[in-house]
Amino acid sequence: MLDRLRFHAYLYLMNKLDTPKRAQIINLLVEGNSMRATSRIADVSINTVVKLLIDTGLACEKFHHETVRNLNCKRIQADEIWSFVYAKAKNVPIEKKGEAGDVWTWTAIDPDSKLIVSWFVGDHSQATAKMFIRDLSERLSDRVQISTDGNFRYTDAIDEVFGVNVDYGMVVKTYGADPAGEKGKYSPAICTSSTKSSVLGNPDYDHISTSHVERQNLTMRMHMRRFTRLTNGFSKKIDNHLCAIALHFVYYNFVKVHKTLRVTPAMEAGLTKKPMTIEEIVGLIKA
């Protein structure tokens, strides 16, 4: 009975949240604050923040799926970024197998408009790579040049999904030991060489690059607390992880004005004529 009363009280408070308060909470989340920090700053309960994140994330995922279509991109860069839910794979207890551990976010960006065309969250398998590439292909209207790193999973996936209707180039980077690596456990390795190669079709070697999508990985780490290295703000549940990612990409594509473009990526790609507002993201929930 007590739990039921608490639940109804929670629903009542959620219904009482006005649009400015919801916009404040969402704005705090997309700017890299953890959910508990957001609840303290916005002066709402953590359960309210979680519920709003899930509602907004689901609405954003639907909005992206329906809106980002028929793109005439000329180039695409693809990559994947590692994170984890609840615990790293080696530390996941038996009872949490299947719902916790390593999680990979596969992303595809148009380097001209800076638009995140597609993303897919899953493991690091060949099957996931094919699902990601298939989703990407369904959002494009013309032949495109794709660039990836040396992950062999992309080759079979792109060949199977696109066939001959693609130009695909690969960048293979070689890393050496960092002399200072012994001093710090998490010191990154130094890139000693980079080799470009044509895999499918006839890609333009000048545009075989993964620089933009790798920079997008940093943007994700800056805007989503759960992706920050060496943090206790990691995702505890996969549902929250998925919704936070969906919210981030809609915010990045439709709300955030890119400094070099001076418009949002969605505007540059011709999807919208003006930037969305956080209040309009709130409106997606009601819609």
Domain containing 103 — which CATH number?
A: 3.30.420
What is the pLDDT confidence band of residue 7, given thresholds at 50, 70 and 90?
low
Rounded CA separation 120/136 (Å):
9
pLDDT digits (tens, 9 = 90+) for 209-230: 999 999 999 999 999 888 887 7
This prediction has a pTM of 0.87
Half-sphere exposure (CA, 13 Å, Cβ side) for 27? 13
What's the domain range around 276? 1-67+237-287
Is the pLDDT at 239 greater than 60, yes or no?
yes
Are 121 and 244 within one domain? no
Are 248 and 158 within one domain? no
Cα pseudo-dihedral 230, 233, 238, 242, rounded to 10: -100
Is the pLDDT at 176 greater than 80, yes or no?
no
Domain annotation covers residue 1:
yes
Are 35 and 133 within one domain? no
What is the pLDDT confidence band of residue 12, given thresholds at 50, 70 and 90?
very low
Closest CA to 266 of 23, 257, 277: 257
pLDDT digits (tens, 9 = 90+) for 87-140: 887 888 877 777 778 889 999 999 999 999 999 999 999 999 999 999 999 999
Are 255 and 218 within one domain? no
